[in-house]
Structure 1
Amino acid sequence: MSNPVVAERYALALYQVGKEQNLSGQIDEELKTIKKVLVQNPGFIGLLKTPKLSVDDKRNLIRQSFPNVSPAVINTFMLLADRHREDIMVEVAESYINLLNEERGIAEATVYSVRALTADETKAISVVFAPKVGKQTLNIENVVDPNLLGGVKVRIGNRIFDGSLRGKLDRLGRKLTS
């Protein structure tokens, strides 16, 4: 079974536990933080995958690394360690976040702009682009990219809305050469 499918199954189980215990929002925040930590420190997963570490050592390492995390999340990650699936921890977190976002009508978006966006600009982008992808709102991550020259480029899932000056110039150049 491929890793994304396995990660989705673990995420779904964690999602159901979160719903039963009314901890969905708390688990969401914890997983976002854990995902960020794991992405910034890829050596942690490598350490967990070390064959010299016993399963008990892995469990203790997980428990010590994330001491303030809810039991449902810790138990899920310890279960992953028990089954030698440490490498899908980030995917489990992403899958859980996606499940909760789907329920809430939220989509994750990356907005590339020449400068950092203000809160009002971020809200305006969310209002305009959320209905285009059938969602109520967007969680926006702003990436500053000076190569755009002006405007913004919005990426939501696998869809890209390019309203940047660089994109317009590129399209104009292709049109003129064809």
Structure 2
Amino acid sequence: MSIFTVASRYAKSLLDLTEEQGHLDAVKKDMDGVISVLKSNSELLAVLKNPIIKGDRKRNILAAIFDGKINSTVLSFFYLLVNKGRAAILLDIAQEFVREYNEEKGIVKASVTSATALSEGNLAALQEIIAAETMATVILKNVVDPSLIGGFTVRVGDKQIDASIAGKLGKLEKHFAAQGV
């Protein structure tokens, strides 16, 4: 079974449980924090993925880091993952939980990459356009990449629109190469 399938099943179980308990929004916030901690600490990830380190040690480490800082249901869930030998995919499960939460709440993440930072007005206008197209609440992030020269690229899920000068120059170069010019 793939890691994605396993992560998705565990995430869905936690999502259903916390929704029943009425703690879904708080747990989502906790999971955002857990993802941040795990991504910023490669040593912790290495410990969780190491099959030589005993489950008791992994549970103690998770308790030391998260006890009193996250919902007790989430911490118990982490202990269950350790007991089941799934500590190695804790980050994957947390990310999948957030993705499923966003899907359930009708939230779409999008990013716009531009040569310079966009104004708040431009970001708001673009956010409205994406929201109208996707029929969802949009969380929009602006990434600055001077190599675009000008224009922008927008990514929503697995779709991308490239309206950058660098992208247009690349297409022109491919066209000329195909023509043998």
Task: Decide: shared fold, TM above 0.5.
Answer: yes
Query: Cα distance, 1:3 vs. partner?
Result: 0.7
How many residues are treated as equivalent by the alignment? Answer: 177
Q: Per-residue deviation at 1:52?
A: 4.5
Q: 1:107 aligns to what SS in structure 2?
A: strand
Secondary structure in structure 2 of the residue aligned to 1:130 = helix
Distance 1:117 1:21 in 2: 41
In the alignment, what sits opposite 1:14? 14
Partner of 1:143: 143
Give the alignment of 1:64-143 within 5 angstroms: 64-67=64-67, 68-132=69-133, 134-143=134-143
Letter of the 2:136 partner, please give it: Q
Q: Secondary structure at the match of 1:163?
A: strand
- Find the structure with the greater CA-based Rg: 2
Change in 2 beyond 3 A, CA 1:172/1:105: same
Find the residue that maps to 2:101 and give its secondary structure: helix
TM-score normalised by structure 1 residue count:
0.88
How far did residue 175 of structure 1 move? 3.7
Partner residue, 2:33: 33
Contact 1:127/1:137 (8 A) holds in 2: no
Q: In structure 2, the residue corresponding to 1:173 is in which secondary structure?
A: helix
- Cα RMSD (Å) of the superposition? 1.9
Shift of 1:70: 0.5
Q: Deviations over 1:89-124 (max 9, x none)?
A: 121112111111112211122221223344433322
Tell me how far apart the structure 2 counterparts of residues 113 and 75 of structure 1 sit (CA, whole Å).
43
Deviations 1:43-74 (A, max 9, x none): 21211233453222211111111131001221
Moved more, 15-24 or 115-124: 115-124
Q: Distance in 1 between matches of 2:138 and 2:32?
A: 16
Equivalent in the alignment of 2:3:
3
Gaps of 5+ in 2: none
1:59 is aligned to 2:62: no
Decide whether the 8 Å contact of 2:49 with 2:89 is kept in 1. no
